[in-house]
């Protein structure tokens, strides 16, 4: 679907609300105040590269192969989105690759650097993906915006989700060149807990805030939704994935209703 609709830019924010500092797997002093954006290229890379498949090699052994592939225009367009997002935040963009090993990443770094010349007001840095994975758990607040390819972004954004206390807290946006797209929590449909009234709805609700901000350009509406989520968390309501002693454990419906109430009675 994302390939068919041209949804090449996947925005995955990782924000730690102060009330959830204790739910993170890291020490509060390491993650307190965390607010980063991971920008994942979504329609290229090894997931879509051709050729791919299985075969018998010359020795008669079975083997499988995939192709990591990026073109200059694909890299340019995701880099520009990254720089534009960084301009609206703290003007720091870290491009993550594996340019010490992969030719695809060498081209990625060259193109991102070239695009960066048009964004002199944004500080551009480069980092190998293995180091980036380490730095996300060592000192995550050093990052502002991270831009990377499809496979690396898939891995790093899920890693970043645990810094916030639960994958159920994280929204995402998958956008085309006109800022139209698909909004969803990053955890997917979670069929194993469907219909049990235990899922955390906040990632879905926060995805609506992203919809208001990035497609409809309604910053005030986005802020109101995010503010309602913060008020509910400040009131001590928690679904099971973010629950800790001293809070009130609620189900999916009650948490959703509480956010609606907070939104209506700001």
pLDDT the model gives residue 235 = 94
Tell me the pLDDT band of 60, cut-offs 50, 70 and 90: very high
| 47 noted as active-site residue | yes
List, for residues 124-169, the tens digit of each pLDDT value: 999 999 999 999 999 999 999 999 999 999 999 989 888 887 778 8
pLDDT the model gives residue 242 = 85
List, for residues 2-58, the tens digit of each pLDDT value: 888 999 999 999 998 888 877 777 888 888 889 999 999 999 999 999 999 999 999
| 158 noted as active-site residue | yes
Question: Which of 124, 252, 141 lies closest to 190 in space, CA to CA?
Answer: 252
Check residue 16 and give left, alpha or beta (phi > 0: left; psi -120 to 50: alpha).
beta
Query: 8-165 maps to which CATH number?
Result: 3.40.718.10
d(CA 31, CA 24): 8
Question: Which of 193, 170, 181 lies closest to 9 in space, CA to CA?
Answer: 181
Tell me the pLDDT band of 255, cut-offs 50, 70 and 90: very high
Domain definitions of the chain by residue range: 8-165, 171-266
Q: Which of 70, 98, 144, 183 is catalytic?
A: 98
List, for residues 76-134, the tens digit of each pLDDT value: 999 999 999 999 999 999 999 999 999 999 999 999 999 999 999 999 999 999 999 99
pLDDT the model gives residue 224 = 96
Q: Which of 45, 97, 144, 154 is catalytic?
A: 154
List, for residues 195-218, the tens digit of each pLDDT value: 899 999 999 999 999 999 999 999
| 98 noted as active-site residue | yes
| 180 noted as active-site residue | no
pLDDT the model gives residue 58 = 94
d(CA 188, CA 171): 10
Arithmetic mean of pLDDT, 168-174: 91
Q: How large is the C-alpha radius of gyration of the chain?
A: 20
| 119 noted as active-site residue | no
């Amino acid at each position: 679907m994302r390939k068919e609709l041209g949804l090449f830019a996947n925005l995955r924010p990782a924000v730690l609300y102060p009330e959830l500092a204790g739910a993170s797997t890291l020490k509060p002093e390491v993650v307190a105040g965390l607010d980063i954006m991971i920008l994942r290229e979504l329609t290229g890379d090894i997931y879509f590269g051709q050729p791919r498949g299985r075969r018998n090699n010359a020795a008669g052994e079975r083997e499988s192969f995939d192709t990591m592939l990026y073109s200059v225009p694909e890299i340019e367009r995701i880099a520009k989105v990254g720089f534009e997002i960084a301009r609206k935040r703290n003007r720091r963009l870290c491009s993550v690759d594996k340019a010490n090993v992969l030719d695809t990443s060498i081209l990625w770094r060259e193109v991102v650097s070239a695009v960066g010349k048009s964004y002199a007001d944004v500080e551009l840095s480069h980092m190998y993906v293995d180091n980036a994975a380490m730095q996300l758990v060592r000192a995550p607040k050093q990052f502002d915006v991270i831009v990377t390819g499809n496979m690396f972004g898939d891995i790093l954004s899920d890693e970043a989700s645990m810094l916030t206390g639960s994958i159920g807290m994280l929204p995402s946006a998958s956008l085309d060149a006109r800022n139209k797209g698909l909004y969803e929590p990053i955890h997917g449909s979670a069929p194993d807990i469907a219909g049990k009234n235990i899922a955390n709805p906040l990632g879905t609700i926060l995805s609506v805030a992203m919809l208001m901000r990035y497609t409809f350009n309604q910053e005030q509406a986005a802020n109101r939704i995010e503010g309602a989520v913060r008020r509910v968390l400040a009131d001590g309501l928690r679904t099971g994935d973010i629950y800790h002693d001293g809070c009130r454990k609620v189900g999916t419906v009650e948490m959703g209703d509480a956010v609606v109430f907070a939104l209506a009675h700001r």
